[in-house]
Structure 1
Amino acid sequence: MIEVLLFLMMKPGVESTAVGTVTFENPDYCAFTGSSVQFKCFYNYSDEETVRKTSWYKGEMKDGTMQRVSLSLIPSYQNRWIYRGDYQHNCSLELHDLQDTDTGYYFFRFDTNKYGWRSKGSLYLSVTELQATVSPQRVRVGNTVTLECKTTCQLPIVWLRDGHRVTKSQFRAQAEDAGNYSCSAEGPNPKQSHPVALDVWYPPINVSIEVSGGDMLTEGSSVNLTCNSVANPAADGYTWYRTAASSTSSLLQVGSGQVLTISPMEESHNGLYVCQAKNPVGQNNSTMVLVAVGEEGINRFIVLGIRVLGIIVMLLLPLAVVCAWRRSRRSTAEEERASNDYENITVTEFK
Structure 2
Amino acid sequence: MLMWVRMAPPLPLIFFLLMIHGVSSAGWSVSYSPSHICALKDSTVIMRCTYTYPTGHQIMKVFWTKESIKGKEPPDLSEDPEYSQRLQYLGDKQQNCTVRLSHVTLKDSRMYYFRFITDKDMRYTGDPGVTLTVTDLQVESPERVTEGDSVTLRCKSSCALTDRATFIWYRNSQPLTERRDRNNELLLQSVRREDSGRYSCAVDGHTHISPDVQLNVMYPPVKPVISISPSGVIVEGDSVTLNCISDSNPPVEISWIKGGTIVGSGRIYNISKISSDDSGEYKCKSINEHGEKYSDTVTLNIMYPPRSVSVSISPSGVIVEGDSVTLNCISDSNPPAEISWIKGGTIVGSGRIFNISKISSNDSGEYKCKSINGHGEKYSDNVTLNVMYPPRSVSVLISGSGVIVEGDSVTLNCISDSNPPAEISWIKGGTIVGSGRIFNISKISSDDSGEYKCKSINEHGEKYSDAVTSNIMYPLMNVSVSIIQSGQTWGGDSVTLNCISDSNPPALNFSWFKENETSAVGSGQSFSALQSGRFYCQAHNQHGSQRSDAVTVTVHHVAGGNVIVITAASGGLFFIIFIIIFILFIM
Shared fold, TM over 0.5: yes
Distance 1:69 1:157, change over 3 A: farther
Residue number in structure 2 paired with 1:42: 50
Q: Measure how far apart 1:111 and its partner are.
A: 3.4
- 1:71 touches 1:77 (CA, 8 Å); kept in 2? no
- 1:28 touches 1:125 (CA, 8 Å); kept in 2? yes
1:198 equivalent to 2:215? Answer yes
Residue number in structure 1 paired with 2:109: 103
Residue number in structure 2 paired with 1:70: 74
What letter is aligned with 1:226? L
Distance 1:23 1:280, change over 3 A: same
Distance 1:215 1:93, change over 3 A: closer
1:265 equivalent to 2:276? Answer yes
Residue number in structure 1 paired with 2:227: 210
Q: Measure how far apart 1:52 and its partner are.
A: 1.6
Distance 1:208 1:85, change over 3 A: same
Question: How many angstroms apart in 1 are the aligned matches of 2:213 and 2:91?
Answer: 42
Match of 2:89 among 78, 83, 89: 83
1:229 equivalent to 2:245? Answer yes
Distance 1:177 1:116, change over 3 A: same
* More RCO (CA 8 Å, sep 6+): 1
Name the SS for the 1:192 alignment partner: coil
Kindly, what percent of the aligned residue pairs are identical?
A: 26
1:174 equivalent to 2:180? Answer no
More strand by share: 2
Question: How many angstroms apart in 2 are the aligned matches of 1:96 and 1:215?
Answer: 65
More helix by share: 1
Question: How many angstroms apart in 1 are the aligned matches of 2:61 and 2:232?
Answer: 94
What letter is aligned with 1:156? T
Question: How many angstroms apart in 2 are the aligned matches of 1:153 and 1:121?
Answer: 21
Question: How many angstroms apart in 2 are the aligned matches of 1:212 and 1:105?
Answer: 68
Residue number in structure 2 paired with 1:148: 154
TM-superposition CA deviations, 1:184-228 (whole Å, max 9, x none): 1111x332112223344444334123345675689x787957242
Question: Structure 1: where are the runs of 5+ without partners?
Answer: 1-17, 243-251, 298-351
1:45-64 alignment, distance < 5 Å: 45=53, 48-58=56-66
Name the SS for the 1:176 alignment partner: helix
Match of 1:255 among 263, 276, 295: 263
TM-superposition CA deviations, 1:107-144 (whole Å, max 9, x none): 333333356555476433222111223221x4444455
1:130 equivalent to 2:140? Answer no
Q: Measure how far apart 1:264 and its partner are.
A: 3.8
Please report the TM-score for the alignment, with normalisation by the length of structure 2.
Answer: 0.37
Name the SS for the 1:39 alignment partner: strand
What letter is aligned with 1:89? Q
Distance 1:67 1:279, change over 3 A: farther
What letter is aligned with 1:157? F
Question: How many angstroms apart in 1 are the aligned matches of 2:188 and 2:81?
Answer: 41
Distance 1:112 1:259, change over 3 A: closer
Residue number in structure 2 paired with 1:4: none
Please report the TM-score for the alignment, with normalisation by the length of structure 1.
Answer: 0.58
Residue number in structure 2 paired with 1:342: none
Residue number in structure 2 paired with 1:283: 292
Residue number in structure 2 paired with 1:165: 175
